[in-house]
Amino acid sequence: MTGPLTTGERASLLALARAGVAHRLGAGPAPRLPVEGPLTAPRAAFVTLLVGGETRAALGTLAPEEPLARAVTHLAARAALDDPRQPPLAAADLPALSVRVAVLGPLRPLTAGPPRPGLDGAAVTRGWHRGLLLPSAAAGKDWSGEVFLKHACLAAGLPARAHLEPDTRVEVFEVEEFGE
C-alpha cells in the first residue's frame, strides 16, 4: 500500500465525498478536485454514507481506476442515489450525513493463512458472485481470520465455507479507514 494519508489528506477526501453527495443531490456546487499531490494518484476506495448513524449507502472499487480524489468524489455521489440496497438519499438527509472512506491497497491472493481481522480486507469471488469485507466489519467482534472469511463468503451470496473451494478466488488487501 502506498504510504498512509496525512490528517489533511484524510480531511480533504471526507470533504470531497460530502461535497460530491451535496452536488449530486442538487444542494451544492461541483467539488474542486486537486490537480497535483498524493490525492491524484490512482487508488481503489470505498465510500460509506451514514444518515443518523445508520448506513444508507456504500459503493467502491477494488481497482485503482482513477485518481483517489476523483474516485472518492464519484463513489460518494453515486452511492447517494445509486446503491440498490437502500432508498436514495435526499437533500433533507444532508444535516445528519456522515461519511466514511476506505482507501485500499493492492489486492493479493490469499496464500499465507487467513486475513488479519481489523487489518486486512477480503474479497471473495466465484462466478458472478463477489463479496467484500473491510476490516471495520470485524470491529468490536472477536472474529478469527477464518470467521472473517466466512462472513466475506456470505457477503458474496456464497456458502460460508466457499473460500475453501478450488473455484473460489480469495484476495486480501490492506485498508486505511477513516470517517467524520
**Does the global pTM surpass 0.85?**
yes
> Could you report the average pLDDT of every consecutive run of 10 residues in the chain (180 residues)?
86 98 97 96 96 94 95 98 93 97 93 80 94 89 92 94 93 94
The confidence score (pLDDT) of residue 2 equals: 64
What lies within 8 Å, CB to CB, of 18 at 6+ separation is: 76, 97, 99, 180
Q: Report the distance separating Cα 79 and Cα 89, nearest Å.
A: 9
| Ordered domains of the chain (ranges, CATH) | 7-104 (3.30.700.20), 108-174 (3.30.1490.150)
